[in-house]
Amino acid sequence: MTARPKILLTRRWTEEVERYLAERYDVTLNEHDVPMDAAALTQAMHDFDAICPTVSDHLGAPIVGTPGARVKVIGNFGVGFNHIDIEAARKAGITVTNTPDVLTDTTADLAILLMLMATRRAGEGERELRAGRWIGWRPTHLLGQDVSGKTLGLVGFGRIAQATARRAHHGFGMRIAYHSRRRADVGIEGQCGSTYYESLDALVADSDVLSLHCPGGAETHHLINRARLGLMKPTAVLVNTARGPVVDEAALAEALATQQIAAAGLDVYEREPIVHPALLGLENVVLLPHMGSGTLETRTAMGMRVARNIDLFFAGQPVHDKVV
């Protein structure tokens, strides 16, 4: 009997998926769910046939390109893969897969949640109440802003942006505008009457809510910088469920503190799990701990999507979600 492939899950996954994989492979679980350091990940490149990492594992070129590595496939748990050096994987002949589709709706829900929390000052209200500072109803208490009839500007127009657009347009009557590298098909634009902006700066200036949905990486690093924050309306709200480094956090903290923009809702950060200290003290920012895809159903579906790719890979068949 041939030995079962050795697979490493770098973090705890939902029970159903861990069980599924353990029945089929020689699986090593990260029982204590602590992040693995570079030395442990490098050793894992020698010890396993497959590594299944997440966004909290930094698989740079020195790790992915480990000489004499045993790993043949990296089954990433997540749709974003900017934490993996794809070029190094290509050079080393390692297959990399991700988990598109299954987290689209859940992540779009969270973008809407952040938009509403920020525009309606929900975090501020909850903090006030819990601190015993609420003195009762009054007409001018914690006045927020409506979203109905306002413009939602989307940076990037992939699956999650489109799902966010559907919710905002059909649920809240928002106008949809977007900027992306490629203009979407007329059919896709037509679903929400979306307006394409060739100029990102013009989109930034016109949006009442600006929601980020572009990939991470060198091309989008600090795409929302001091200059672009300066183009936003003073009433505007920034939402980031994409990747932290897309926003210059220090510049954002300054824009929020000086009320150059009204508010922000963030789920991702430049140096997770560290959050820029200047953001932590501000009332007009909602700060969530990278939980965009965080439902039991979705995290299980993500795990099963990785499992399907691993099954196909070891069955010698083409994987479905091949990044490289």
Residue 12 CB neighbour total at 10 angstroms: 13
The reply to whether 272 belongs to the active site is yes
The reply to whether 179 belongs to the active site is no
CB within 8 Å of 216: residues ≥ 6 apart: 80, 82, 242, 243, 244, 245, 246
Say how many residues touch ligand DGY, by CB under 6 A: 8
Of 24, 166, 272, 308, the active-site residue reads: 272
Three-state DSSP state, 244: helix
Instruction: Give the pair of three-digit tokens for residue 232.
Output: 């936003």
Q: Shortest approach of ligand DGY to residue 78 CB, angstroms?
A: 3
Confirm or reject binding of residue 153 to ligand DGY (CB under 6 A): no
Of 11, 121, 213, 243, the active-site residue reads: 243
- Pairing of β 263-266 and β 237-240: parallel
Confirm or reject binding of residue 78 to ligand DGY (CB under 6 A): yes
CB within 8 Å of 202: residues ≥ 6 apart: none
Confirm or reject binding of residue 116 to ligand DGY (CB under 6 A): no
Residues paired with residue 50 on neighbouring β-strands, in sequence order: 7, 73
- Report the Cα–Cα distance between both ends of the chain, in Å, rounded: 31
Which range binds ligand DGY by CB under 6 A, 72-80, 122-130, 134-142, 312-320? 72-80
27, 41, 52, 55: residue in contact with ligand DGY (rule CB under 6 A): 55
Q: What residue type is 30 in one-letter code? A: N
Confirm or reject binding of residue 103 to ligand DGY (CB under 6 A): yes
The reply to whether 221 belongs to the active site is no
Confirm or reject binding of residue 80 to ligand DGY (CB under 6 A): yes
One character per residue 272-311, x = contact with ligand DGY (rule: CB under 6 A) = --------------------xx------------------
Three-state DSSP state, 69: coil
Binding site for ligand DGY (CB under 6 A): 54-55, 78-80, 103, 292-293
Q: Which residues are catalytic?
A: 243, 272, 290
